[in-house]
Every structure is written in C-alpha cells, then in structure tokens.
Amino acid sequence: MLTRRSLLTAATLAPVGAFAQSRLAPPPATPAPLDDSVAPGVTRSTLISWGGRVEPDSLSFAPANISVQAARGQFGWDGILAGLQTQPDGEDGVKRAILTVAHPAPVARMLPSGDPALLAALQGASVLNLEEHGGAYLVTDGGYQTRRIAADTLCRVSGTEPGDAGDAARGPLDPQAGAATPWGTVLLSEGQGGLRVVEIDPRDPQAIPVKRASLGRFARTALLATQSADGRAVVFMSEAQGGRLFRFVSQAALSPDQPDALDAGRLSVAVLQGGVLRFVAVADQRSREGTPLDAPSGLALSAGTVLLACRGGVGFVAGSALAQGNPAGRILALRPEGGDITTERFAVELALSGGDTDMGGPIISNPDCLAAGPDGAVWIGGLDGQITLAEADFTRLRTLYRAPLGAAIGGITLLPGGRQGFAAIRHPGATPQASWANPATRWPSFAAGMPPRTTVIGLRIG
C-alpha cells in the first residue's frame, strides 16, 4: 500500500514522501474476540462512558430502567469527538481542558425502549471540564462549563438563507460531526432532521447555540475550521450523500465586534481537474456542481496542508483523478496554492492508499477520521475500529489501538505535543445482528446486566 501502485491515476497525483524504504511496525497481539487491545508503549485510560454523570443533579445510570429525565443529564448513548480546548494552567499547576462530544441519534434496537422521547434525550452534546492528574485526564465533577446540550435546546438561526435569520429553533439534532474553531467555539453538524451547522461556545454555559444558515443545509461527515492570514473564518465540510467537498470563507474577519462573521461569505464546492482541485462558488449546495471524492470523511490541517480521509468505495466518477474508487479508501493531501488557505486552487497528492498488501497485510482500511499533531504525525481512525499512527510523511506506520467488536472510532483529538489525546469508541457490541438483549460484547465493564457503552478513552504514547 505504501507505493504509487494505487487505484488512483498515477499521472495526475504527485507522490508524497519517499515510500521505498517504508516498513510497517508489528501490530499488537490479536485481541480477544470481544475486547479491545492497545499496542506496547501506549497507555489507555477511561474518561467517561454512556450514562456517566454530566449535569450535577443527574441521576445514576440504571440501564434496565432508563428514564428521559436521567438521560438528559447523562453522557449520551453514542459519541463523536467534536472539539478540545486547552485552558491556561491555574495557580495549582493542574492542566485543564474543555472537551465537547456530539451525541448522534441512538440505535433503537440497542436500547431497552424505543420511546421517541428517550431517543431524543440521548442526542445532543456533552461539554466536559477536564483536569489532568497523574498523567491521565478526568472529568471534573461539577465543572463550571460541564453541561448537557439536548436535541430540544433552544437555538437561534442566523445567516443569509431567506426567512431564517433571527428565527428560533431546537437542536442540535442528531449531530454527526464536529470541529473546534481557532476562535474558541465548536461547530456541530446536524444529521437528518436539522442538517445545519450549529455553533456553540463551550466556555460560556449561558451562550445560546447558533445555527449558521450561510454554511448550507446538507448532511456532513466531517468539519475543519481554521482562519486565513487576515482573520477570516474558513470551514471545510465533507458531504455525506454526494461525496463532495465544500468550503466556506467568511466575508469579514472574526473579532469581538464581529461575532456573527460566519453569517456572510462564500460557499464553494471542490472540482477536480487533472490533479488540481478548484473551489467554485455555488449558490445552492443541492446543485450538481462539484466532483464526488470517493466517500470523503475526516479532515485535518497539518502545516498548512488539508488532509482528507476518503472511506472508499466503487462507482465514483470514472475518468477523474480518483479513477473508479478504492474500496479500502485513501488519504489525500490538498496543498493550497501560495500557502493561502482561501485560494481557489489546491494541488492534490496521494498521502496514503488503503488495502495494498505488498508489505504483508493491509496498512489502513477505510480511513474515517484524522488528527494531526504539531510534529507532523497523523492519527488515523478507520471504519474497522483501528487507530493507526502515521509518521515521516506517512512512510512509517504503526497500529496504536483496536476497538472492541461492533465499535467504531468516533473521532480523535490531540493534546498539545501530539503524543497524547482522546478517542471516542462508539456503540461497541452493535453488530448488525445485535440487540439490547443480545449485544455482541458488553465492553467496557463486561458486568452481568450491564450493556456495552460508548466510551471516551485517553491514549498516551510513551
């Protein structure tokens, strides 16, 4: 897989790095059928699981008798990491951070009740105050910013879409992706029923979430927020159904005087032409403009380069730079012309191709989420539940973690330094044939009568 012999059109995509000397580090021992596994030299800790207390007055987790009231104050059934913000060290020297986790709609067959009110209460987001003790982070009980945001939380709609500006709404609804912004907020992308990007301020418990109409209304698989050199907001968004890549650039720079700068700007869609990606303005994201990109998903920014994980598949735009698609997926490096993140043109390079067994086994399979560290290393979460560390321009890879049966990686976010971070282990035990009564595993507790639980884990290398 670490060769240019990929399913991409070799003539149109420039290589990344020198792959000839690459070697795959040995993976960890084969895990037990139901359990997860951690590579040697990697430390795992547990931060919070489904049912964990978020609101200070939340009820204890009683899985056989989950009430709507209890669910509204507890960590949700599913989880996708949406954003991490570190805080200045206090006088006590304790390191602190705020972690925001999105809670998509749960799978009804994995719950004891299909009550619509309960399903709604399990959605939304959790904002968690964290403190570091003994090398591991813990949720601060009763933290100032710690709170649950539910699917029926009051929001305001702001932006340029006709008839929406100033309206009230509820949400976030079934959030499927999220991203921390350089200006201190978190963006959550709604799933079916909402399809908006909702901006929340994790630092201010009194702040009303804002649905940003200017960012379009469509299902997304990932978000990436950054800023231009002149302070304008830039948001990349991978599309769930159509497989396109969108970008929004605000008209004005963000500032305390311009808190709603995201409400006016240019929405554009990516078009691939011979190894060059161009962003073309669109008035309506439902138009047919843009090039499908082989099931695009996770986004990350590494030294000015946008990394895009493509889950893979067959049937995307024959004859384009992505050829007929790679069922095992790939990671693309999008390099902006002149180093300007707002430029119209990006060079497209293949960083990593999935499924190639030239080196004794698959390196990656269907990459889904990415996190880039300051040292250039990239953490890759795959649909197969594996987390892989890529170093040295993707020429050196090793497996860090394998999730339990039925689980997926719901995002990875890194702490400063890039050698420690968090990952959400989503819906363990939820294989296609599983149910509440018969889950495929009861990870992480394995206790009798205790269901499998989505869990945010900490991972530290070294």
pLDDT tens, position by position, 408-430: 999 999 999 999 999 999 999 99
CATH classification at residue 267: 2.120.10.30
Is 1 inside any structural domain? no
159: pLDDT confidence band, cut at 50, 70 and 90? confident
- Of residues 259 and 31, more confidently modeled: 259
Per-residue model confidence (pLDDT) at position 93: 87
Domain that holds residue 441: 14-461
Q: Are 222 and 237 in contact (CB under 8 A)?
A: yes
CA dist., res. 16 & res. 24, Å (int)? 17
Give the pLDDT confidence score for residue 395 in this predicted structure.
86
Confidence of residue 64 (pLDDT cuts 50, 70, 90): confident
As a whole number, mean pLDDT of residues 107-127 equals 94
Q: 191 lies in a domain?
A: yes
Per-residue pLDDT of 310-342, as tens digits, reads 998 754 433 334 555 678 888 999 999 999 999
Distance separating alpha carbons of residues 307 and 368, to the nearest angstrom: 12
Higher local confidence (pLDDT), 224 or 326 = 224
In a domain, 2, yes or no: no
Residue 292 inside a domain? The answer is yes
Looking at residue 320, its pLDDT comes to: 38
What pairing do the DSSP bridges indicate for beta strands 175-180 and 186-190?
A: antiparallel
Q: Which two tokens stand for residue 213?
A: 């109409």
pLDDT tens string 269-279: 999 987 899 99
pLDDT at residue 356 in the model:
60
Look at the block and give the residue holding tokens 């082989």.
294
Strands (E) in 78-174, as ranges, are 80-87, 96-103, 124-133, 136-139, 147-149, 154-158, 168-170
Total count of domains within the chain: 1
**What is the number of residues in the chain?**
462
4 occurs within a structural domain: no
Average pLDDT score over residue span 60-86 = 94
Residue 370 lies in a domain: yes
Residue 3 located in a structural domain: no
pLDDT grade for 258, boundaries at 50, 70 and 90 = confident
User: What CA–CA distances, in Å, run from 106 to 58, 254, 351, 430, 447?
Assistant: 20, 35, 34, 11, 22
Tokens of 170: 């509820």
418: in domain: yes
111 contacts 437 by C-beta, under 8 angstroms: no
Contacts of residue 83, defined as CB under 8 A and 6 or more positions apart, other chains included, come to 99, 100, 178, 179, 180, 181, 186, 187, 202, 413
